[in-house]
Structure 1
Amino acid sequence: MNNIKLIVGLANPGLKYIKTRHNIGSLYVNLLADSFNVKLKQEKKFFGFTSCINVCDKKVFLLVPTTFVNLSGISVISLANFYSININEILIAHDELDLLPGIIKLKFGGSLAGHNGLKSIKSNFNNSVNFYRLRIGIGRPIDKNNIVNFVLNNPTKYENDLIKIVMKKVIDYTKIFLSNELVNCSRIFKAL
C-alpha cells in the first residue's frame, strides 16, 4: 500500500450537496487533511480542491473534484497526468450502496457496482479498474427506484453517528497503510 500517491474523495460541487451521501468520499479526504493539519485549496487546472501530505518522507496528493461525481475522471486524470501518477497508485474514496452505514471496505480493483463516478475514472484511464477503493457504506433505499434521490440526500442522524465512528478508525488506519507495504489492502472496518 505504500505505493499510493493520490487519494481522491468523490463529491458533487456546491453547498447543496456538501452533506449528502454521495459526498461521503470528500468527507474522508477532508478529515484526512485535517489530521495532517493541511488545507485543501482550489486548483482550477485540476478541476478540484487539492493538497499534499507527507507520509514517511513520501508525498501523497489529496483531491476533491469540483466536477459532478459522474465526471470525476476529468479531475483525477488531470492531476494524475500532471504528477505522473499511475492508476494503480490512486485510492478513490466513494459512497457504496452495497454496504450499510458504519461499514467501510478497502479493496483493490474489481467490480464498480454501477457507480458512475468510478465509471468516469475507469474511462479516463484506458478502461482500467486497477485502482484502490475505499468503499464507504451508505446502505440502500427501501424503494430501489429511488437511488438518485437517496444518494443526493443527507444521511439520518443515526447513520451519521455510525459514519463518524468508523471514519475515525479509517483515518487512523490510513496513516498505517500509507507507510507500511506489508499491510493487507483488503480490509473491512465497522463502527460497532
Structure 2
Amino acid sequence: MGFLDLLRPRRKDDAVAENTWLVVGLGNPGAQYAGNRHNVGEMVADALAARLGAAFKTHKTPARVAEGFVRPGGPKLVIAKPNGYMNTSGGPVSALLKFYSLAPSRLIVVHDELDIPFDTVRLKHGGGHGGHNGLRDIAKALDSGDFTRVRVGIGRPPGRQDAADFVLKDFSGTERGMLPNLLSDAADAVEAVVSDGLVAAQQRFHSPA
C-alpha cells in the first residue's frame, strides 16, 4: 500500500472485504454420498447457509457458493461446497481464495474427523492433514496448512471395519437422531471463530460440559 492509498477515503466495500471469511464444507458430490459421514462438512455448510438465509448458486469457480452476514454489519461468510470429489478439494478452494482476494488465514474448512467422538466439535488452526484426503489436497494446493479447521467428530468404526468404508456409509439411525444438534454446534463454532476469534471459540467448544 502506497502513501496515496493511505490518503484514499475508506470505502464500505473495503471494510466488508477485510471482514470476509471463506467457509468450505467438504464432501463428495451426488445423491449417493449425501448422507455419508464423510459429507458432514457439506451438511454443516447447508445448515449454516440456511441459518443466514443464503442460497447456494453456481459460481465462476468450480464450487457452489452462498453468501451472507452473521449479523447486520458483522462478518461476511462465503460458504462453499466444491463441485468435485473430496480428494480434489484443493483446486476449488485455491480458486475461491483468489477470486475473493483472501489469504489462507481467512479460510475455515469444515470436515469429518475420525479421531474425535461422534457428536463432538473441535477447532484448530494449522497442523497436518491426519490422513484426511480433503485436507491433504487443500494444503498441497495452497502450499500451506495455515487455515482453520472445524473438526466434526464421527468417531472410529466399530470392530475391524475399514475406516475408508466407514466414512462412506450413512450415519446410523441413532446418529441421525443426534445429527441436527451436531450440525448446529458446528455452525455455531464457525460463527464463534469469525465473531470472537479462535481462542475464545476453542474455550467454548473444548470446555467440558
Fold shared per TM-score above 0.5: yes
Q: Is residue 83 from structure 1 mapped to residue 103 from structure 2 by the alignment?
A: no
Alignment partner of 2:29 out of 6, 9, 13: 13
Asked if 2 retains the 8 angstrom alpha-carbon contact of 1:72 and 1:117, the reply is yes
Q: Name the CA shift for 1:143/1:182 in 2 (closer, same or farther; >3 Å).
A: closer
AA of the residue aligned to 1:52: E
AA of the residue aligned to 2:50: D
Which residue is 2:133 aligned to?
116
Cα root mean square deviation, aligned: 2.2
Asked if 1 retains the 8 angstrom alpha-carbon contact of 2:122 and 2:206, the reply is yes
Structure of higher RCO (CA pairs closer than 8 Å, 6+ residues apart): 1
Name the CA distance, whole Å, in 1 between partners of 2:34 and 2:74. 32
Q: How does 1:151-166 map to 2 (within 5 A)?
A: 151-166=167-182
| Aligned pairs, number | 188
Which residue is 1:125 aligned to?
142
Q: 1:142, CA displacement in angstroms?
A: 2.7
State the SS of the aligned residue for 1:141.
coil
Q: 1:94, CA displacement in angstroms?
A: 0.3
Q: How does 1:55-66 map to 2 (within 5 A)?
A: 55=70, 56-66=73-83
State the SS of the aligned residue for 2:115.
coil
Name the CA distance, whole Å, in 2 between partners of 1:125 and 1:144. 35
Q: 1:174, CA displacement in angstroms?
A: 3.4
State the SS of the aligned residue for 1:88.
helix
Alignment partner of 1:146 out of 145, 158, 162: 162
Q: How does 1:169-180 map to 2 (within 5 A)?
A: 169-180=185-196
Q: 1:122, CA displacement in angstroms?
A: 0.3
Q: How does 1:90-101 map to 2 (within 5 A)?
A: 90-101=107-118
Q: 1:172, CA displacement in angstroms?
A: 3.4
AA of the residue aligned to 2:69: N
Asked if 2 retains the 8 angstrom alpha-carbon contact of 1:4 and 1:90, the reply is no
Runs of 5+ consecutive residues of structure 2 not aligned to the other structure: 1-17
TM-score normalised per structure 1:
0.88
State the SS of the aligned residue for 2:65.
strand
Q: 1:101, CA displacement in angstroms?
A: 1.1
State which structure, 1 or 2, has the greater radius of gyration over its C-alpha atoms. 2
Asked if 1 retains the 8 angstrom alpha-carbon contact of 2:19 and 2:76, the reply is no
